[in-house]
Structure 1
Amino acid sequence: MPKTLLLDLHKALRGALQPIGGSKADDWNEIVASQAISTLWKTSNPADNAKREQGILVGMICMKPHDEFEGMLMAQMIGTHNAAMECHRRAMLPEQPFIGRSEALTQANKLSRTFATLLEALNRHRGKGQQKVTVEHVHVHAGGQAVVGVVEPQGAGGLRKLEEQPYAVRGEDTER
């Protein structure tokens, strides 16, 4: 028998915790914050743990998630960062054998690249992705005309002739 779930949307979408997880749904924000906090290594000192947990929450607020996707990405970035730093810490242990140090640094490197990928995804989502402009050799002599646009390969036959391209500019000068 299917389970019925009732939601009080007015209560569920208060948005008091929106600065933490990016959602109007505080239950969602609590889940994302809890996931980020759970990536911390716990110490034996409860006061230190509470301070570090508050640091995670303040960090999430400072990152200013605009929606649920950004909240998730930020929680993943925090977890990835924490794991990378733990790998760096373990690599620096004085009694660490070379193979252990090497493996810890390899994992730290992978985690750092994952962090960079998550940051790139966040920037793309926010519309801050880098645009790529490629300028190749272009010579337009006096009286000449140029085609500006993307010239796409057409299968195994290579590029289509300029005259066959729908955006081609045809000039009177057939010498060029």
Structure 2
Amino acid sequence: MTTTAKNPERTPFPEFSKEGHQAFSGSDSIKFACELIRQIASATWTGDARSEEEIEARVVAAYEALQNLAPRDELEAMLGVQILATHNAALECLSRCMLENQPVANREYNLKHAAALMALYERQLAAWDRRRELAARHMSVSSTKAKKVRPSLQQNEERKGQAVLTHQSEQQGARVAASCADEKTNVRKE
């Protein structure tokens, strides 16, 4: 798949099977999965990395973060890459704000961009949550409709059984009340 510049035989990602790339791309397409990896790698800041291994570790961490998001389809995978890229950019701006001997104008510039990126990050997370909630609601409504349209035989039998029990208990209650009334009448006659 991807090779590092210094060592073309070494790849930062293990070879993955169909199930493996579906776990982070939400897609059956290996080409789509490879493009996501390329996008993750290009959106990961590596300018201050001291070695090829450090670059690799950062890219693999971003890949694993996307895998942990567990996108269910291609749209969620693309949104996941955007979320990760925005997160990385915001943190890079914040780290530049903390550099020593920096002019105030540079610090303010980076803070302004960090704030804008964090607001974008928040909107992206809200979009992710809305998408997941809608999918959950859709699944819930679908199963509820299926249950309402055709109740199971067992549910029908349970309802019939409850109706019979209710009817039997009403009859028994009426008999008890009648016998009580008969006893009161007998007591009064005596």
Q: TM-score range by the shorter chain?
A: 0.5 to 0.7
Shift of 1:128: 6.0
Structure 2 gaps, min length 5: 1-17, 136-190
Are residue 30 (structure 1) and residue 34 (structure 2) matched? Answer: yes
Give a deviation string over 1:131-155, Cα, whole Å, max 9, x none: xxxxxxxxxxxxxxxxxxxxxxxxx
1:1-20 equivalent positions in 2, closer than 5 A: 14-20=18-24
Indicate whether 1:48 and 2:54 are aligned.
Answer: yes
Instruction: Quote the offset at 1:15 in angstroms.
Output: 4.9
1:40 counterpart letter in structure 2? T
**2:25 corresponds to which of 21, 27, 31:** 21
> What's the CA shift for 1:24?
1.2
Matched residues in 2 for 1:95 and 1:18: separation? 46
| 8 Å CA contact 1:16, 1:26 repeated in 2 | no
Task: Give the TM-score, by structure 2 length.
Answer: 0.58
Q: Which amino acid aligns with 2:93?
A: C
- C-alpha distance after superposition, 1:81-104 (max 9, x if no partner): 110001001111111111110110
**TM-score normalised by structure 1 residue count:** 0.62
2:79 to 70, 73, 77: 73
| RMSD (CA atoms) | 1.8
The amino acid of 2:130's aligned partner reads R
Other structure's SS at 1:27 match? helix
Deviations 1:2-29 (A, max 9, x none): xxxxxxxxxxxx4540111111112111
Richer in helix (by share)? 2
List, as ranges, runs of 4+ consecutive aligned residues in structure 1 with deviation greater than 6 Å. Answer: none
For this pair of structures, how many residues does the alignment match?
117
Residue 151 of structure 2 is matched in structure 1 by none
**Structure 2 CA distance, aligned partners of 1:56 and 1:44?**
18
In the TM superposition, 1:164-175 aligns within 5 A as none
Instruction: Give 2:4's aligned residue.
Output: none
The answer on whether the counterparts of 1:20 and 1:33 sit within 8 Å (CA) in structure 2 is no
Partner Cα separation in structure 2 for residue 112 and residue 126 of structure 1? 21
Say which one has the larger Rg: 2
Q: What amino acid sits opposite 1:22 in the alignment? A: G
5+ residue gaps, structure 1, are: 1-13, 130-176
Question: After superposition, what is the alpha-carbon deviation per residue over 1:13-55, rounded to whole angstroms, capped at 9, x for unaligned?
Answer: x454011111111211111122012111222300111111111
Kept in 2: contact 1:20–1:61 (CA 8 A) = yes
Partner of 1:106: 112
